[in-house]
Amino acid sequence: MDIDDILAEVSGDGSPPETRDLQELTRAWVTERSAPELLPWPSDLMDRVLGRIHQQIEVVEEQVGNVDPKTNFRLIIIQTELERFKYLVRSFLRTRMAKIDQYTLYMLSNPTQTARLSACELQYANSHQTLLEAHYRSSFLSQFPTSLQRLDDTAGGISMIEQPDPDAAVFVRALRNIEEPVVIEGTDTDFQMRRGDVYVVRWSAVQEHVLSGDAELI
């Protein structure tokens, strides 16, 4: 498949919704893996994908033990596909969890970031943070002077809250022509992104285009 084919499929409505979901899932996975910060949770997409995975598992469970070679072969194909889907979803979730673990305090203290977590993830972030805090406290913090016991201290020149780096470099490809030139903050560089163009730029410069679906990370 050529890049142009892939690009054509993005705008084309010819493909069935299942194929488009796979494409969306793959894209969400790639984007999540390359973006420095956590992206919004694609709840509709995930509901659909998880629902379908569940359906297929049921199909497999129903037909297992069938000795007819034809069904058996079909079953193997379904299972292989299932494994691949499960891998995508698993890797996607684990990537998100890795980011959540790294930037927990930042996400929990920032409403826009908190809104990007799914309900389970929010619960995980909260309980993990509580556990960590209890662990630090019982290990040594409780014996500290009270003024030094906080974990989200920003005084003293160094903030204790770790944040993702918005200026990290990402590879980005434009999926549609972007009319306004992309301006890189703090420099006098700007450029026009045409469909199919690939750039290496700071995440902060293209963030909104990626979130709106005009561009994708690669």
Partner 1 sequence: MYGDLGLKLVQHAKRTQALAHLPPYQTELVRAVTREVRDLDKDVSNVLAPFEGSFNPSAEPAVACNVLVDHLCMRRNKRCLLAYHRVRSDKLEELCWKGHDVLDNDSVPSGRQDGRGEGSGMGSDSGNQSSLSPEEEEYVRNYSDMLAAYKGQWTDIDLTGSLDPPRDLFIDVRVLKDAGEIQTEYGAINLSKNSQFYVRQGDVERLIAQGYLQKLS
Residues at the contact surface with partner 1, assessed by CB under 8 A? 50, 53-54, 57, 64-65, 76, 79-80, 83-84, 86-87, 89-91, 93-94, 101, 120, 123-124, 127-128, 131-132, 134-136, 138-140, 143-145, 148, 151, 156, 158
The residue among 95 and 114 lying less far from partner 1, judged by its C-beta, is: 95
The residue among 98 and 218 lying less far from partner 1, judged by its C-beta, is: 98
The residue among 136 and 199 lying less far from partner 1, judged by its C-beta, is: 136
Which secondary structure element, helix H or strand E, spans residue 22, and what is its range? helix 17-34
Tell me the closest approach of the beta carbon of residue 102 to partner 1, in angstroms.
10
Tell me the closest approach of the beta carbon of residue 60 to partner 1, in angstroms.
8
Tell me the closest approach of the beta carbon of residue 91 to partner 1, in angstroms.
6
Q: Where are the alpha helices (DSSP H) in 64-202?
A: 69-102, 104-109, 111-114, 119-139
What sign has the CA pseudo-torsion 201, 180, 23, 1?
negative
Tell me the closest approach of the beta carbon of residue 84 to partner 1, in angstroms.
6
Tell me the closest approach of the beta carbon of residue 39 to partner 1, in angstroms.
19
The residue among 124 and 191 lying less far from partner 1, judged by its C-beta, is: 124
The residue among 151 and 211 lying less far from partner 1, judged by its C-beta, is: 151
What sign has the CA pseudo-torsion 127, 130, 132, 135?
negative
CA dist 169 and 91 (Å) reads: 22
Helix axes 17-34, 43-63, angle to 10 degrees: 120
Which residue has 């993005």 as its token pair?
10
Tell me the closest approach of the beta carbon of residue 72 to partner 1, in angstroms.
10
The residue among 144 and 171 lying less far from partner 1, judged by its C-beta, is: 144
Buried residues in 41-55 as b, exposed as e (16+ CB within 10 A) = bbeeebebbeeebee
Q: Are 191 and 181 in contact (CB under 8 A)?
A: yes
